[in-house]
Structure 1
Amino acid sequence: MILCGKYSGPCLHFASSHFCKVQETLKLAWRISQVSFSMYGNEDGCIVSEN
């Protein structure tokens, strides 16, 4: 599963979710202006969960 929006709004979706992909794009754009976010997520701006 991919956890998107953990720090800017709840959003839990499977990786195949279109909405999650949109969130990934938004998080990446946001991370460009918030460098500190990089320590919370991967290059897609989302946190990958093994659960």
Structure 2
Amino acid sequence: MITQTMQSKESKESKENSKISFANAFLKQNASKLNEIQNANSQTLARSEAL
């Protein structure tokens, strides 16, 4: 019984860790996209100021 309870807890923790890993990957991807947009906006701003 104790082993089954431990396995159940480990399974829940594993699922939770998978969700957290997915969320972290998603956030990193979004941060990267935002960075690209920010860089593009900075370049656009620099060009418009040069005109």
What range describes the TM-score normalised by the shorter chain of this pair?
0.3 to 0.5
Question: Which structure carries more helix by proportion?
Answer: 2
Q: TM-score with structure 1 length normalisation?
A: 0.34
**With CA pairs under 8 Å and 6+ residues apart, which has the higher RCO, 1 or 2?**
1
Higher Cα Rg, which structure: 2
Question: Which structure carries more strand by proportion?
Answer: 1
